[in-house]
């Protein structure tokens, strides 16, 4: 149960980061062709960091889960 909650939280954080990256352009407070506003730069940096860190955490979690499954399979084959 804890693992599902943690993975769900990481997925939500990743989606929030992606939304922060897309928001200035989707909502329209960044005019097309203009220099980036301070709010746009902030959204890009914070969203990129949030999406990047949560993605790395998801990859680490998946690698750990695969390693655990491989270890279980090895023990079953030895029996």
Q: What are the pLDDT digits (tens) for 4-54?
A: 888 999 999 999 999 999 999 999 888 888 999 999 999 999 999 999 999
Classify residue 35 by its DSSP letter: P
The pTM for the full model equals: 0.81
3-class SS of residue 11: helix
Q: What are the pLDDT digits (tens) for 61-73?
A: 999 988 988 887 7
């Amino acid at each position: 149960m804890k693992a599902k909650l943690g993975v769900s939280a990481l997925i939500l954080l990743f989606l929030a980061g992606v939304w922060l990256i897309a928001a200035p352009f989707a909502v329209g407070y960044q005019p097309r062709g203009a220099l980036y506003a301070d709010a746009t730069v902030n959204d890009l940096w914070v969203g990129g960091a949030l999406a990047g860190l949560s993605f790395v955490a998801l990859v680490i979690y998946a690698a750990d889960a695969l390693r655990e499954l491989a270890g279980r399979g090895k023990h079953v084959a030895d029996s």
